[in-house]
Amino acid sequence: MHGNGGTLLWTTCYFIVLFGMSLYGIHRYFIIFLYFRNRHRAPQPPLRFSQLPMVTVQLPIYNEVYVIERLLAAVSQIDYPREKLEIQILDDSTDETTEIADREAARLRHAGFQVEILRRRNRIGFKAGALNHGLRQAKGEFCLILDADFIPPPHILQETVHYFTDPAIGMIQTRWGHINRSYSWLTRAQAILLDGHLLLEQTARSRTGRFFNFNGTAGLWRRSSIEQAGGWQHDTLTEDLDLSYRAQLNGAKFLFLSNIVTPAELPVDMSGFKSQQHRWTKGSIQTCKKLLPLIWKSRLPWWIKAEAVVHLTSNFAYLLLAFLCILLHPSDTKIATDGPGALIDLAIFAATTLPVAVFYLCAQRELYPKDWKREILFFPFVLALGIGVSISNARAVLEAVFNHESPFARTPKYGFALADRFRKKNRYASFCDAFPIVELLFAIYFTYFVVTALGNREFLSLPFLILFQIGFAYVALTSLRERGERRHFGVRDVL
């Protein structure tokens, strides 16, 4: 990996990048350690309410014509007294979703449910604005928040609300499930990536008193915790992460219940996946800039502050990966096979690539003890996908660092039953730009790497170079194909 004639500046930058990536890689090992040390310490509600409290189910909706009926049907099946359950449809839609919402709300009212449809004159604040608008009129002491593509299980309230008998608990997060996990390679890879985050990270942080975040949906909030933390704010693209940290800084305790699964729909197109990743990545860095100074000024223990730093800055790893791609040169692809060079390369591999694979493999083994071995052969594609979106996510990091404004690009939902038809005539599409061309150039660049390594008989380098080549090529070509399909069928981009 050591080029001949490289400048001191190049060498310094190269090893700074590798050092930074290694720190984030080693931290994954630490999360795995915390998870296995605490996985059997499942929380239990201290008491049970003698009289169930009022709960408001908040459903932020924007142009969800394919899934709103499914959502409301699932909410109507929640096992909770109807006189204690308020349903808020926070509808910012501009299409016939409004008509479906009106019709389904009337049906639910006829069945005895308390249903309110709240519509605003504008979309100021987007989802955060809609949630704030609803909170001001909510009757419930607690708020269950569900995005349009989620299907709450009937027992979700009965199995969560009693934890709030502990007055310190401010939020309870359930684990996401994936109803369309096996739809395609893309959804399968997304499921693996989310499983690692939701099971290992959330469990490890929750059970050790560290900061962790509400995931934006499938969670239950104590209303007073939201209000005392300053409410929903829309100065970042991740209003959920922002509020989570503010509430915990204010003294609220959060719980993650991995045994309660709320199924949801994964994005089935590359553009939707990339726009979602861009929003999450940029929003996390915006939240980092906004709240890290407050965290360091707090009286929290240093180890909680340190974990918060790693958590909030973790997406800088995409920027480091992008820099690594730029710093690499075909003459520097050789992996040493003996001597000190081999030890250095082995250490770099163990601290950067290996922890990612181990992290997601542990999550699959925990969640699917009978089937996890079948996922091993699929892991190279998971790693390649993570590499493929790294350039787009690195751009999101830079946009946040330099305060570049970008539109709030929501992730359209298509309804699992309609997934096979979405590519052709679905009315919604994710926001897209010219960035796939950049990704395609990186794919060509790494193809040159692969050819050079083959010519030099540097076979140990090939697996790593091919991961980059396939990752960038898959993301770029899939994005370009989807764009061509949308243009062919006249599908509009929806923000």
Burial of 167 (0-12, 13-18, 19+ CB in 10 A): exposed
Of the residues 91, 92, 147, 345, which is catalytic?
92
Crossing angle for the helix pair 302-313 and 270-297, nearest 10 degrees? 150
- Check: CB of residue 233 under 8 Å from CB of residue 129: no
State phi, psi for 76 to the nearest 5 degrees. -70, -15
- Per DSSP bridges, beta strands 169-178 and 219-222 are antiparallel
Choose the catalytic residue: 147, 149, 240, 242: 240
CA pair distance 140, 254, nearest whole angstrom? 19
Q: How many CB atoms lie within 10 A of CB 305?
A: 17
Q: Look up 420 and say whether it is catalytic.
A: no
Contacts of 354 (CB under 8 A, 6+ apart): 25
Which three-class secondary structure state does DSSP give residue 256?
strand
Q: Quote the CA–CA distance of 134 and 464 in Å, as a whole number.
A: 49
Please report the sign of the dihedral spanned by the C-alpha atoms of residue 57, residue 308, residue 254, residue 139. negative
220 near 169, Cβ under 8 Å? no
The Cα-based distances of 45 to 182, 257, 338 in angstroms read 35, 11, 56
User: Does the active-site annotation cover 240?
Assistant: yes
Instruction: Give catalytic residue positions.
Output: 92, 240
